[in-house]
Amino acid sequence: MWWGVAAALLANTLYSVGFVLEKRALTSLPEVSIRQPARLLRLVLGSPLWIGGSLALAAGFAAQLVVYRTLPIAAAQGIFVSGLVLLVLLSARLLGEETSGRERYALGAILLALLMVVLSLREGSDTVGHDAPYQLILLVCVPSLAAGVWLYASAERRTRNRHRRPTTGVEYGVAVGLLYGVSSLAIKGVSSRLTTHGISGAVPALLSSPYPYLLLFTGVFGLVMSQAALQRCRASLIVPVCTTVTSLFTAVLGTLSFGEALPDEPLRLALRVAGTALAVAVLLTMPKHDTAPRPSPPAKELASP
């Protein structure tokens, strides 16, 4: 089980580094839009710094497969949230992003939620689910994908209103978080197929399941949507919101879908539930508008590519 904790912390580090590198690369690129996905991909694939960030995210994905083979879903999500602290530190150091006092209090609350979840773990007493009915997975994932795309499109329409106050990116973060929540359930499903099937049976088992197709959809749409949002908003705010939504989505719906039981002991159960509830409260109290001065657009934006 503690190998899973180590893998989760490694995934946190890789994801934080990956997001910060991508954000830094995006600040030097012309403005990107989800309405021009081919142009977006052409621009980011031409940036070595962005490619380095993407490789870090891919390595984090590999570490996440190990996590889901050794830890219950709810516990894994609580640990993943801890990566927000490192991301904020890297954003301040490498991107020059400043966080408000309110946001720093929110990060402290997230660390407390992490501590609660870790204390609720006990070797040998937590069950790790390995299977879920495909109909249930699709019932959970398809409406969530539709809601994420709709919410993102709504945020885009409001952003184009020049008289609207600058957004912090909370709406973008929630929308992308829903897509990544579905992706996280798909990663859990892929990990389960690799655990319960031999090498010869793993590929047919995967192809007959919805998991690789959910990963393909969330990978393509998540890439385009997240890059456009990351360029417009502070990484130190949009990524924490996205991570919180993803973690809560996966912890609640993933636990139910894969039939993982919560702790039997009242104290451990209270710690895990309270940690999840605290993360929800943090998300609900995040500011909706950005009061910090917006950086001037890079010189490349002033000319057509």
Residue 301 within a domain: no
Tokens of 170: 């909370």
164 vs 194, more confident: 194
Q: pLDDT tier at 165 (50, 70, 90 boundaries)?
A: low
Residue 278 falls inside a structural domain: no
pLDDT reported for residue 299: 43
- If one compares 167 and 260, the residue with the highest pLDDT of the two is 260
Rounded mean pLDDT of 151-155?
87
Q: Which pLDDT belongs to residue 180?
A: 92
- Show the CA angle centred on residue 237, arms to residues 85 and 84, nearest 5°: 20
pLDDT at 300 over 70: no
Q: Residue 270 falls within a domain, yes or no?
A: no
pLDDT band of residue 71 (cuts 50, 70, 90) is: confident
Nearest to 183 by CA among 154, 151, 144: 144
What's the predicted TM-score (pTM) here?
A: 0.77
142 pLDDT exceeds 90?
yes
What letter represents residue 112's amino acid?
L
pLDDT score for 48: 93
Task: Examine residue 192 and state whether it is found in any structural domain, yes or no.
Answer: yes
**Predicted confidence (pLDDT) per residue in 178-224, tens digit:** 999 999 998 888 887 776 555 666 778 788 889 999 999 998 888 88
Q: Do the beta carbons of residue 53 and residue 91 sit within 8 Å?
A: no
- The count of C-alpha atoms lying within 13 angstroms of the C-alpha of 30, restricted to the half-sphere facing its C-beta, is 14
Q: Which of residues 118 and 57 earns the better pLDDT score?
A: 57
Q: pLDDT category, 297, cuts 50, 70, 90?
A: very low
What is the extent of the structural domain holding 194?
128-263
Q: Is residue 230 part of a domain?
A: yes
CA–CA distance, 154 with 157 (Å, rounded to integer): 5
Average pLDDT, the chain: 79
Is residue 99 situated within a structural domain? no
Domains in the chain: how many in total?
1
pLDDT at 168 over 60: no
Query: For 77-133, how does the pLDDT look when each residue is reduced to its tens digit (9 = 90+)?
Result: 777 877 777 787 888 888 887 767 777 777 778 778 767 877 776 765 666 777 788
CA distance 188 to 183: 9
- Compare 286 and 212 and report the one with higher pLDDT: 212
CA gap 41, 268 in Å, rounded:
45
Mean pLDDT of 62-84: 79
- Statement: residue 264 has pLDDT above 60: yes
| Phi/psi of residue 289, nearest 5 degrees | -130, 150
Phi (first) and psi of residue 167, to 5 degrees: -85, 145
Asked if residue 73 is part of any domain, the answer here is: no
> Does some domain include residue 228?
yes
